Amino acid sequence: MYFASHAHSHYIRPMHDLHIYNTLTRRKEPFQPLNPPHVGMYVCGPTLYTHAHLGNCRTFLSFDIVFRYLRHLGYKVRYVRNITDVGHLESDADEGEDKVAKRARLEKLEPMEIVQFYAVDFHRILDKLNLLPPSIEPLASGHIPEQIEMTQRILQNGMAYEVNGTVWFDVEKFAKVFPYTQLSNRQLDELLDGTRDNLEGQDEKRGRLDFALWKRATPGHIMRWNSPWGVGFPGWHIECSAMSTKYLGEEFDIHGGGMDLIPTHHTNEIAQHAACYHKNPARYWMHTNMLTVNGQKMSKSLGNSFLPAELFSGNHPLLERGYSPMVVRFFMLQAHYRSTLDFSNFAIQAAEKGFQRLMAALELIPHLPVSDTSTVDVPALRQAVYRAMNDDFNTPVALAELFEGVRHIYAIHEGRDTLTAADKEQLQKLYNEMVFDVLGLKPEKNSDDTLVTGLMQLILDIRSEVRSKKDYATSDKIRDALAKLGIQVKDGKEGTTWSRT
């Protein structure tokens, strides 16, 4: 078992009174890990047949906060976030073509080429948004034996049946012994009524809610593996069950994903797991709400999605201009993960001002004057921030409290409030830990882009000075040297501009 005995115990912060909203029980529960100080967390990762959009990033950012805060509290977290590269069909009802295989077929590439291309991009974007990498990032196609084994076990336990090389999970049979609809809080009858009457194209499955654990591959299907049931490929849901069990054990602490995964993917994950091990895999099921645009869920199929890269550059019809990654991160943290977050240029511009004010205040802290007494209650501020984070990772409230502190920082700076040396140290610690470590924000001035912008401003100022002295030789020398570095300088009526060539 991976929770190997650790001789010495770890320090868990005493103020820790974390409560997590559990979708399973529909209430906030005190967080009690199965095996402290270890915490196992599994989050359903992206299906990388295309670029991850900003909505996907919101979900992963929410779990980055969970990861960071748990680590901050002193837990040793094993965070597993998979990459789906096989089995995710075009519709949730186990129909249509495999998303990755289809893309590979259209582009005449290997499926792994597609996934690799988008995985590199995905990691680059998450890195810009300052997400910590998960502890393990398994690929579904790298865990075919585990998925086959689990399918065999479900068959042995009588909760699945095979028809012509495809293995189906028997939902109605399972529902007699386990609360199949517990997570979605719906009735089985309601679900049955919601499905189409005919089983057209699905004539091999017996029940309308049955889903595939393993699918027979048609001759043209690119991704195919041998199995006890012939050549085929795994269903989408089984991958997460197989990989979470492999890396986190038969029972672990947190399982997460976007709330759109509740009715099918997560419901079926629980079913598969319970059919094998007679229990729910995770204690706490956490679900993030959707990023919306004008009130509609951002999604590729609705055509209202844009990519993080487009948001950073401003190069998209929905965007007035570009916004930096840290402004985007800050914008997302201003909503609680269980609320929807509606994207608008207005809202993100407001977030930009807030972010800059927070960063400016952070720079002031080391230079604040100290006095014999404090008019600011730093311990109370600290408590309020932790209270918010302990209340189901309430980042908007934590930020509001930090901004209350920012008001005081400016007041101290201007001599309207006072601070003792000890309180100043506490204040610095609170902001460093909360803003940088837990919320994962960082000053942008060190970013390459900001640095280049600043340097170019300086170079062009110097160049315009030498030109005003009619020193055209130096001015041309600067222009030519910049051209060699791939920067084009244009002198126009309105002044001098520059761009990368």
- The CB-of-297 to ligand AMP minimum distance in angstroms stands at 5
Q: Which does 308 bind (CB under 5 to 8 A by kind): Zn ion, ligand AMP, none?
A: none
Residue 213 and residue 269 in contact, taking contact as beta carbons nearer than 8 Å? no
Q: Residue 330 contacts by C-beta under 8 Å, 6 or more apart in sequence? A: 351, 352, 354, 355, 358, 441
**DSSP label of 225:** B
264 binds, among Zn ion, ligand AMP, none (CB under 5 to 8 A by kind): none
The stretch among 90-98, 238-246, 285-293, 453-461 that binds Zn ion (CB under 5 A) is 238-246
Supply the minimum distance, in Å, between the C-beta of residue 119 and Zn ion. 17
Please, where are the H alpha helices in 365-419? 378-390, 395-413
Least distance in angstroms from the C-beta of 88 to ligand AMP: 7
> Which residues on neighbouring strands pair with residue 498, listed in sequence order?
489
- Give the residue with the Cβ less far from Zn ion, 282 or 362: 282
Out of ligand AMP, Zn ion, none, which partner does residue 240 contact, by CB within 5 to 8 A per kind? Zn ion
290 binds Zn ion (CB under 5 A): no
Binding string to Zn ion for residues 35 to 74, with x set by CB under 5 A, is what? ---------x------------------------------
- Residue 56 or 227 with smaller CB distance to ligand AMP: 56
Contact 404, 382 (CB under 8 A): no
Nearer to Zn ion, 260 or 310 (CB): 260
Could you report how far apart the first and last alpha carbons of the chain are, in Å? 55
- Of 263, 336, 243, 332, whose CA–CA distance to 41 is shortest? 243
Q: Where are the alpha helices (DSSP H) in 209-292?
A: 236-248, 267-277
Q: How far is the CB of 58 from ligand AMP (least distance, A)?
A: 4
**Nearer to ligand AMP (CB atom), residue 82 or residue 280:** 82
Report the partner that residue 291 touches, choosing among Zn ion, ligand AMP, none (CB closer than 5 to 8 A by kind). ligand AMP
Q: For the CB of residue 144, give the shortest distance to ligand AMP in the complex, in Å.
A: 20
Instruction: Evaluate whether 459 touches 498 at the Cβ level (below 8 Å).
Output: no
Q: Which stretch binds Zn ion (CB under 5 A): 89-97, 235-243, 303-311, 405-413?
A: 235-243
140 forms part of the interface with Zn ion (CB under 5 A): no
Which CB, 79 or 431, lies closer to ligand AMP? 79
Residue closer to Zn ion by CB (options 270, 434) is 270
- 428 makes contact, choosing from ligand AMP, Zn ion, none, with CB < 5 to 8 Å by partner type, with none
Q: How far is the CB of 240 from Zn ion (least distance, A)?
A: 3
- Residue 299's binding partner among ligand AMP, Zn ion, none (Cβ under 5 to 8 angstroms by kind) is ligand AMP
- Considering beta carbons, is residue 240 or 335 the nearer one to Zn ion? 240
The token pair at 242 is 């197989």
Distances (CA, A) of 47 to 107, 140, 144: 17, 10, 17
Other CB atoms within a 10 A radius of the CB of residue 170 amount to 21
Residue closer to ligand AMP, measured from CB, 297 or 387: 297
Task: For residue 163, list its beta bridge partners.
Answer: 166
Long-range contact pairs involving 446-449 (C-beta distance under 8 Å, separation at least 24)? 447/324, 449/324
Question: What is the nearest approach in angstroms of ligand AMP to the Cβ of residue 305?
Answer: 8
Backbone angles phi, psi at 377, to 5 degrees: -90, 85
Element (H, E) at 325: helix 325-333
Question: Nearer Cβ to Zn ion, position 240 or 351?
Answer: 240
Q: Which residues of 205-234 are buried (b: 16+ CB within 10 A; e: fewer)?
A: bebbbbbbbbbbbeeebbbbbebebeebbb
Tokens linked to 170 = 């028997």
* Distance in Å, CB of 36 to ligand AMP, minimum: 27
Helices (H), 83-233: 99-107, 111-128, 144-156, 171-175, 188-194
Q: Which does residue 273 bind out of ligand AMP, Zn ion, none, counting CB within 5 to 8 angstroms by kind?
A: none
> How far apart, in whole angstroms, are the C-alpha atoms of residue 501 and residue 489?
10
Query: How many residues interact with Zn ion (rule CB under 5 A)?
Result: 2
Per-residue CA distances from 307 to 7, 312, 318, 360, 500 (Å): 46, 9, 11, 29, 22
Which residue in the set 39, 70, 131, 240 belongs to the binding site for Zn ion (CB under 5 A)? 240
Q: Given the rule CB under 6 A, which residues bind ligand AMP?
A: 44, 46-47, 55-56, 58-59, 257-258, 260-261, 288, 290-291, 297-299
Residue placing its CB nearer to ligand AMP in the complex, 232 or 257: 257
In the list Zn ion, ligand AMP, none, the entry touching 55 (Cβ below 5 to 8 angstroms by class) is ligand AMP
Smallest separation, CB 72 to Zn ion (Å): 26
Instruction: Name the site residues for Zn ion (rule: CB under 5 A).
Output: 44, 240
